[in-house]
Structure 1
Amino acid sequence: MREAYTDQLEQLAERLADMTGMVAEAMENATAALLQADLGLAEQVISGDQKVDDVRSSIEEQAYALLALQAPVATDLRTVLAVIHAAESVERMGDLALHVAKAARRRHPSSALPEDVKPYFTEMGRIAVKLATEAAEVIRQKDVERARNLEDEDDAMDDIHRHLFSVIMDKEWQHGVAAAVDVTLLGRFYERYGDHAVSVAKRTVFVVTGRMPGYGGDDDI
């Protein structure tokens, strides 16, 4: 019985890691759709978001069943609770990738981004995918040090996000109000995506150490 219970806990964490990998791929495709005005990729992300939602529902159902039937304590209880909270953050990451894809679709066949800001979003997309990929490995390996290192990557995302405001407020901005609004919203989507990835890693630190580290954010979108 104990071995089966341990297997269920490990399976729960593995499914969360797989879900995190799904939203990494979603953001990678959404970024490509945004930068290349690729309608097919945008539609792929949009249609795939329901699968992310379904996985979260299934993970929560399994987690609540463990709470009800096994009454876990100590580290086991932290694992189940962390998975429930982290799955919510991962679903929001999927929603943010969805928002990026919808922006690409809304402006198609034109690009949602002026050419001179595309390099910033190329880098934000790279960081976002790396954060999600690293978060998935943190879950699998329960690597506290690796989890803490995600904060540095997220700081780089925040720096670009802040810089975008100076770009669109500069007197040299010639792309109009609509483009400025698009850049502002899209920058926010990437910044929040990074925050949620850090939050997922933070939950893993809580499982291992029993303490919630004071970094990152898990606010609402």
Structure 2
Amino acid sequence: MREAYHVELDRLADKLASMSGMVANAMELATKSLLETDLQLAEQVISDDEHVDDTRAQCEEQAYSLLALQAPVATELRKVLAVIHAAESLERMGDLALHVARTARRRHPDPVLPPEVTPYFAEMGKVAVRLARQTEEIIKTTDVDAARALESADDEVDNIHRHLFTVIMDKNWPHGVAAAVDTTLLGRFYERYADHAVSVANRMIFVVTGKMPGYNSDEDL
């Protein structure tokens, strides 16, 4: 009976990893639609978001079913709880890719980004997608070292995001308020996407170690 339970836990992890692959694809296509003013790609991201939402619902339903089926203990319980929280973060990553695609669609056929900031978004998109792909592998392997290494990649996105503000706030910015607002919001979408990827990786660390990175229980005493 316990062996069958572990099989179900493994299937649940596979579904979660698949979800990470979905949101990686979504951000990859959304970034391309943004940089290349490709309406078809933007529409694809928008329509595919329903699959991400459905997968989150399936993960949660299966997780709650496993909680009810038996009384999971130790690592088993951590796995189920991690899936519930991670599925929420992954769905949010899909939503953030959706926001990028909708922005590209709203401004079509005009480009959203001024040429001065386009390279920054190309780099943030590349790093964000890499984070999601690495998260997919971390879910499959529960590799703690790989999960901890994601923090440095997240810092890359944070640094670019901060630099965007200096570009927008420059007194010689020639592109007006609308372009500044779009650039600010889009930068925030990528920054939050990367943060959620790290959050999912941290949940996998919790599965293995029983502790959430950055959390000190003594602080609550």
Tell me the TM-score normalised to structure 1 length.
Answer: 0.96
Aligned-residue offset at 1:71: 1.4
1:105 aligns with 2:108: no
Which residue of the partner structure matches residue 197 of structure 2? Answer: 197
Instruction: Report matched runs for 1:73-112 at 5 Å.
Output: 73-112=73-112
More deviation in 91-100 or 65-74? Answer: 65-74
TM-superposition CA deviations, 1:120-171 (whole Å, max 9, x none): 0000000000010011111101100000000000001000000000000001
TM-superposition CA deviations, 1:8-64 (whole Å, max 9, x none): 000111110000000000000000000000000000000000110000000100000
Query: How many residues end up aligned between the 2 structures?
Result: 215
Instruction: Report matched runs for 1:22-61 at 5 Å.
Output: 22-61=22-61
Query: Which letter does structure 2 place at the counterpart of 1:114?
Result: P
Query: Which letter does structure 2 place at the counterpart of 1:107?
Result: R
Query: Which letter does structure 2 place at the counterpart of 1:119?
Result: P
Which residue of the partner structure matches residue 166 of structure 1? Answer: 166
Which residue of the partner structure matches residue 144 of structure 1? Answer: 144
TM-superposition CA deviations, 1:70-118 (whole Å, max 9, x none): 1101100000000000000000000000000000000000011011110
1:16 aligns with 2:16: yes
1:157 aligns with 2:157: yes
Which residue of the partner structure matches residue 129 of structure 1? Answer: 129
Query: Which letter does structure 2 place at the counterpart of 1:9?
Result: L
Distance 2:62 2:183 in 1: 39
Distance 1:86 1:2 in 2: 24
Q: Percent identity of the aligned residues?
A: 70
Q: Which runs of 4+ in 1 moved over 2 A?
A: none
Give SS of 2:111's match. coil
Distance 1:78 1:172 in 2: 52
Distance 2:55 2:132 in 1: 16
Tell me the TM-score normalised to structure 2 length.
Answer: 0.96
Distance 1:28 1:208 in 2: 30
Distance 2:104 2:71 in 1: 46
Where structure 1 has 5 or more consecutive residues not aligned to the other structure, the ranges are 216-221
Give SS of 1:115's match. coil
Distance 1:116 1:38 in 2: 19
Distance 1:159 1:207 in 2: 29
Query: Which letter does structure 2 place at the counterpart of 1:109?
Result: P
Where structure 2 has 5 or more consecutive residues not aligned to the other structure, the ranges are 216-221
Query: Which letter does structure 2 place at the counterpart of 1:166?
Result: T
Which residue of the partner structure matches residue 218 of structure 2? Answer: none
Aligned-residue offset at 1:203: 0.1
Aligned-residue offset at 1:4: 1.2
